[in-house]
Structure 1
Amino acid sequence: MDQKISNSEGAPQKPKNMVPWNERFSYSLSDFACNLSFQMVGTYLMIFYTDTFGISAAAVGTLFFVARFFDAVDGPIWGILIDHTHTRFGKSRPYWLWFSIPFAVFCVLVFTTPNLSLTGKLIWAYITYIGVDVLYSAVNIPITSILPSLTSNPQERVVLSTIRQFMGTAGAAIITGITLTMVAKFGGGSTTSARGWFIWALIVAIIVVIIFGIVFKNTKERVQTKSSRKSIPIKTAVKALRSNWPWAIIIFINFIYWLGMQTRSQVTVYFFKYNMHNTALSSFVLSLQFVSLIAVVLTPWTAKMIGKRNTMLGGMILACIGQLLLSLGAAHLSVSIIIVATIIGYLGTGYVSGLIAVMLADAVDYGEWKNGVRAEGIVTSFSSFSAKLGMGFGGVITGWILSATGYVANHAQSATALHGIELNYIWVPLLGFALSGLALAFYKVDGIEKQMLGDLAVKHARENAEDDDEK
């Protein structure tokens, strides 16, 4: 065993639960790679479909809705596969080796525009979008499922998740900030150029594959328990979810939070292109995600001082304030108010995103403590499922609202269509953030964490001693 969970008295040995800095950084690159690719898909795919590929907003919304049925099964399936995977590389880590290239290929295909009829375009969009969605789970779920295996120290998990979120946010800010510029560069000055989108997607995909190779090489699954060293039957693994209310709360928050984030991000270009008549400003506003890195850096300290739940709740409140200020900026077409509102909102979401993975790792511990079953794969797989479900419904809502309010691609929009864009950009996200904050009122793991981890340390020490005796 690479890492002892406890000493002979069952007390945690925190110094032995620390992760080396090179591994911390390598782990964080996993989210950087995911955000480079999937944030490009999440932020720009709708406007690529409507303004470049020539698919209607309603058809795109329906596509995003249909894709959610595949998400209903693919996330848990990947989780079950992880729980049944036992290789010399570990349980979660091999998936970066096996699926990074297929994922990258589909990230290119989804931004490819073959010369097809409208029906052919729809078929192509369905195949490539569902493909990139399913393969995203294959490389993204291991990022969360491996966290409980990197360390059993709760504060170290916060540090790891913070560094991961820092790099993930940096990746998102970079890709959303420069994508339109790069598309125009490779597309002869046009942000709707099919050639520009393809070349830029190909460059990003190559970078993603290289990064995942680094992540695979430099991470290590060191926390081993009796249950983690053997395959867990599906019926047994599901028991980890029974009465696991921390898991249920975080999964709900992950769904509604990402629904709001998706509606805002994918309509940002629409808002600045049509409401503000300044497309270039959308790249600047999206790049302001770098501001959230301030909150990300402060997260470990804040979580230690006031708890993880209260830190996330504070982030949700800031996000709500940011959306309310956005409504004021939109009403007065004030760029300065919109920028201030965006900065406040990103500070709030900076506190939120990194803690979701930590709280899911806590839910893995809670499932074992409550039900005696440690199933990292199935418990954390619902993170990807719920986030993609939320993002999918966000896409559905955006597409259908745009269609219902009369959006017409590459034309001046009616007052009703402009209102529909504003509804997606401001009010749907506000509702998502507010409901997430309300759900946090019922999350109370912080108060029982010390007892839970102490009991698990004793349990793991006993199981490991029994294994040593059997050997």
Structure 2
Amino acid sequence: MASNSKSSVEKRLSKGILPWNERLSYGASDFACSFTFSLIGTYLMYFYTDVFGITAAAVGTLMLVARVIDAFDGPFWGIMIDHTHSKWGRSRPFLLWFNAPFTIFTILCFTTPDLPMNWKIVWAYVTYIGIGVLYSAVNIPLTSILPSMTINPDERVLLSTIRSLCSNFGGTLISVIALPLVTLFGGGDNPRRGFFLVAVMAALVFFVIYLVVFANLRERVQTLESQKPLPIKKSLKALKRNWPWLIVIGLNFVYWLGMQTKGQVTIYFFKYNLDRPELVSFALLFNAIGLVSVFLTPYVVMKLGKKKTLLAGLAISIVGQLILGLGAQILNIPIVIVGTIVGNFGNGFIGALIAVLLADAVDYGEWKNGVRAEGIVTSASSFTAKFGMGIGGAITGLLLSMGHYIPNKSQSPAALFAIEANYVWVPMLALVLSLILILFYSLTPAKEKEMMAALTQKHARENQTN
């Protein structure tokens, strides 16, 4: 009986179908990432301006500088992955090596030493830049390992779906519980202590989950390149005429720019524009609507294909922003909530497919150029997403500064419009630009089928040679 069970598992693995413990571990990895980094993305700007006491202009500049640095750290980690050759594979070791450093810096970001203003800004620079660099070190391997886990395209969609479900759940959970926990841990009058203890909790969750993830994931797609360090010059060949890759990283930059401006002013919008700060956690709870569309993604992709599914998600998100804009104009909370629900439903399709398209870009680079470079191809995803988020942060800081935003005071009409622009109109423009980009995506299902057949034959020949 045991022998039959083992034979069944081996048969499924030969088809690129992974066991459930590995699928769930892959998903848990992004639960951990979102649980910590959504705390930073949603609340850190508010923490800096309204709790730590740094000006909005200084925070916006910080976020821009940090993302310029990411222009170097993203490709750096990609090159490091391509150069890594260990008994654990290329990407997997990074999940272990940088677990503890990321955990520590998550806590430091919400630590508030009693310093003069200039030194507060220095502290913010060191900790925020540090967490950005370390996030690349723990998150880029999650994308780069996907094409190494399986070459089965349906399994990749399923893995990315599970990852997106877990990511959405982790981000929604911390967004909803963070402020109540800040109040609980801070006693209602000490938000510094409250935010610090919430960060400690989130960091420990990340640390434990990442140990489990490292233990369970495996790199199974072995090629000549994956069995030895890949020189930089050779790895860069994977990007030559890699049009799917260019489209996806362009989408990643524009989309996350818009999502960052929206996410980090959510608390401002409900606190100042709607004068209902107690509804922040309630509104963020509707991020979970994205779980429905993420769950539906594999089925919709089977009917429509990846490109049409992504276009549909972007179109739905645009409609959601339009509804949200109407609610913001007339200050109608039910309409704002409806817009939030519709937009989050569309966002679920987008988040579920970005990692899949990047995995396809790895295969495309190998198919066209003969070089399989998971690290350099997928690291651009982290870089462009974070660079977009940094530009989004800078835009938020600039608009708030131009609107003469003053923390914890009644805001002027100009400041209220600056908050609304960040929450509604900048994300709207980003979604429209993203949709236009995907219209040019040219890796059709027929071409993908041809590509996968050619790569399967190539890998079989290489394995026989070795």
Fold shared by both chains (TM-score > 0.5): yes
Tell me the distance in 1 between the aligned counterparts of 2:436 and 2:12.
36
The answer on whether the counterparts of 1:83 and 1:376 sit within 8 Å (CA) in structure 2 is yes
Match of 2:198 in 1: 200
The answer on whether the counterparts of 1:103 and 1:132 sit within 8 Å (CA) in structure 2 is yes
CA offsets, 1:215-265, max 9 Å, x none? 001111111111111111000000100110100000000000000000000
Match of 2:394 in 1: 396
TM-score norm. by structure 2 comes to: 0.96
Tell me, yes or no, if structure 1 residue 239 matches structure 2 residue 237: yes
Q: Which amino acid aligns with 1:244?
A: N
Match of 2:20 in 1: 21
Match of 1:461 in 2: 460
Tell me the distance in 2 between the aligned counterparts of 1:63 and 1:299.
36
Extract unaligned runs of 5+ from structure 2.
1-10
Tell me the distance in 2 between the aligned counterparts of 1:33 and 1:85.
24
1:270 Cα deviation after fit = 0.1
Tell me the distance in 1 between the aligned counterparts of 2:120 and 2:113.
8
Match of 1:48 in 2: 47
Tell me the distance in 2 between the aligned counterparts of 1:200 and 1:42.
14
CA offsets, 1:45-74, max 9 Å, x none? 000000000000000000001111210100
Q: How does 1:44-193 map to 2 (within 5 A)?
A: 44-190=43-189, 193=191
Match of 1:33 in 2: 32
Match of 2:8 in 1: none
Match of 2:349 in 1: 351
Extract unaligned runs of 5+ from structure 1.
1-11
1:13 Cα deviation after fit = 8.7
Q: Which amino acid aligns with 1:228?
A: S
The answer on whether the counterparts of 2:77 and 2:379 sit within 8 Å (CA) in structure 1 is yes
Q: Which amino acid aligns with 2:260?
A: Q
Match of 2:7 in 1: none
Runs of 4+ in 1 over 6 A off after TM superposition: none
CA offsets, 1:285-308, max 9 Å, x none? 111111110000000111111110
Match of 2:253 in 1: 255
The answer on whether the counterparts of 1:166 and 1:296 sit within 8 Å (CA) in structure 2 is yes
Equivalent position SS for 2:90: coil
Report the RMSD for the aligned CA atoms in angstroms.
1.1
Q: Pick from 277, 282, 285: which aligns with 1:284?
A: 282
Tell me the distance in 1 between the aligned counterparts of 2:43 and 2:410.
20
Tell me the distance in 2 between the aligned counterparts of 1:294 and 1:132.
30
Match of 1:9 in 2: none
Tell me, yes or no, if structure 1 residue 295 matches structure 2 residue 300: no
The answer on whether the counterparts of 2:12 and 2:18 sit within 8 Å (CA) in structure 1 is no
Match of 2:320 in 1: 322
Q: Pick from 257, 268, 277: which aligns with 1:270?
A: 268
CA change 1:385–1:261 in 2 (3 A) is same
The answer on whether the counterparts of 1:14 and 1:153 sit within 8 Å (CA) in structure 2 is no
The answer on whether the counterparts of 1:158 and 1:355 sit within 8 Å (CA) in structure 2 is yes
The answer on whether the counterparts of 1:68 and 1:388 sit within 8 Å (CA) in structure 2 is yes
Q: Which amino acid aligns with 2:365?
A: G
Tell me the distance in 2 between the aligned counterparts of 1:446 and 1:22.
32
Tell me the distance in 1 between the aligned counterparts of 2:167 and 2:103.
17
CA offsets, 1:256-284, max 9 Å, x none? 00000000000000000000111121111
TM-score norm. by structure 1 comes to: 0.95
Identity within the alignment, %: 56
Tell me the distance in 1 between the aligned counterparts of 2:68 and 2:442.
32
Tell me, yes or no, if structure 1 residue 424 matches structure 2 residue 422: yes
Tell me the distance in 1 between the aligned counterparts of 2:212 and 2:12.
29
1:16 Cα deviation after fit = 2.4
Q: Which amino acid aligns with 2:462?
A: E
Tell me the distance in 2 between the aligned counterparts of 1:251 and 1:238.
15
Equivalent position SS for 1:444: coil
CA offsets, 1:12-61, max 9 Å, x none? 99862101011100110110000011111011000000000000000000
Q: How does 1:304-453 map to 2 (within 5 A)?
A: 304-447=302-445, 448-453=447-452
Equivalent position SS for 2:249: helix
Q: Which amino acid aligns with 1:262?
A: Q
Match of 1:4 in 2: none
Tell me the distance in 2 between the aligned counterparts of 1:305 and 1:348.
17
